[in-house]
Structure 1
Amino acid sequence: MYIFDTLMNRMRRGCQTMPYPKGPAPALPDRHGGALRLDASLCPEGCAQCQGVCPTGAITLEPGRRARLDLGRCLFCGDCVAACPHGAITTTNDHRLATRRREDLILGETGAEELRLAAALDKKMKSLLGRSLRLRQVSAGGCGACEADINVLGTIGWDLGRFGIQYVASPRHADGVLITGPVTKGMELALQKTWAAVPEPRIAIALGACAISGGPFIGHPQHNGGADPIIPIDLYIPGCPPHPLTILDGFLRLLGRLPKHNL
């Protein structure tokens, strides 16, 4: 009887998994804001109000140079958007944030106002990992927020496994590592050993502001300022923490699994 009731309840509920990426992307919450946009041409000489409120030094304003916004350091707190009297920094509500190169997260460096989004792996790596990707997640001193959003992707609404992407318990069974946290001195050796245990060819993904730059812990002597100084990174997914949709977009973008209408 109970089994019959369970089956009937499942049938009434139908499919709970979102249609993305075949369908449109779900809207981000109002408080999230998505990616930031910088129009450095609106920054007058001598104005540094946004720089003064940034808790991680993500904004730099040097005399004679364009304003820069480093989304790898950014916590997406929105303080700079509120503080800027000229509207030079704005939110876009765009969930797409992942890049392949660290320098592509810096807005205004070479006149870029928006992100250069991540390109897919090369043909050989796509053929190896495009349909089945196993990741060993390494929590290298983070607060647990990035890990929580990683876990969300395994729920019925997101169903990460439908893309052939899974988290594994051993680096011996992995195709790459997924790193969160600023890589504290106590986790440095653990990350190195995990990376060495992953069979080649392999990939590394830095997820969250901490894993990219140190995040809110920037300047503290007991961490390495992210994973970059320890192992080579193939994908950067910024945020504090990144929204699950941002994480999924980064994974699928790297594997070349996004349909054209969601690129």
Structure 2
Amino acid sequence: MGIKSYARARAIHAMLVYTGGCNGCDIEIVNAVFSPKYDAEQYKIFLTWNPREADVLIVTGPVTKQNKKPLEEIYKAIPEPKIVIAAGACALMGGVYKNIHGDIPSEEIAGPVEEVIPVDAKVPGCAVRPEDVLAGAISALPKLLEAK
């Protein structure tokens, strides 16, 4: 077993993708979940920016039409097994970016994440709480760990 395979089998790599919105959820995830207070890295959960290294895809924001195709391409580039976490009210249902006249998305919004790619865990909030992001990741881990 090569060093890359050895490391991948003993750690979880999460990739964060912002698809539109205010960046509040991104700030909570990067500056809190991976900060010394919550220290996800002590549990061997590492942040990566390379989809070919990722096991977990965390998506924040409503999916804008401009970001729909890139999100689909990132999803396809992540090797199996993979899990997807939709984090925040915008990722789950459009949040404040929904059309004010009902549930019809605005012209710029393609929809919530689950209408673009499959979602394994949903983390509500505006912005998400770090504890909820960790709980959402843990709830989806059995799918990932069974296949490793």
Pick the TM interval, shorter chain.
0.7 to 0.9
Q: Report the alpha carbon displacement of residue 250 of structure 1 after superposing the two structures with TM.
A: 1.7
Higher strand share: 2
Corresponding position of 2:12: 133
**Given the alignment of the two structures, is residue 222 of structure 1 paired with residue 101 of structure 2, yes or no?**
no
Residue by residue over 1:131-183, the C-alpha shift from the partner in whole angstroms, topping out at 9 and shown as x without a partner, is 52212111001211000110111111111101111110110111131100101
Distance 1:204 1:133 in 2: 13
Residue by residue over 1:235-263, the C-alpha shift from the partner in whole angstroms, topping out at 9 and shown as x without a partner, is 0001011111111122223336xxxxxxx
In the alignment of these two chains, the number of paired residues is 128
Corresponding position of 1:252: 138
Distance 2:58 2:12 in 1: 11
Aligned match of 1:156 in 30, 33, 36? 36
Query: Alignment RMSD, CA only?
Result: 1.7
State the TM-score, normalized to the length of structure 2: 0.80
Distance 2:41 2:9 in 1: 13
| Pair 1:233–1:130, CA change in 2 (3 A) | farther
3-state SS of 2:115 partner: coil
- The letter of the residue matching 2:40 is L
Q: Report the alpha carbon displacement of residue 130 of structure 1 after superposing the two structures with TM.
A: 9.4
- The letter of the residue matching 2:24 is A
Structure 1: any 5+ residue segments left out of the alignment? Answer: 1-128, 257-263
Corresponding position of 1:178: 58
State the TM-score, normalized to the length of structure 1: 0.46
Distance 2:15 2:65 in 1: 20
Distance 1:135 1:245 in 2: 16
List, as ranges, runs of 4+ consecutive aligned residues in structure 1 with deviation greater than 2 Å. Answer: 129-132, 252-256
5 Å-filtered alignment, 1:54-93, equals none
The 8 Å contact of residues 172 and 197 in structure 1, kept in 2 or not, is answered as yes
Higher helix share: 2
Percent identical residues: 34
5 Å-filtered alignment, 1:202-241, equals 202-219=82-99, 220-241=106-127
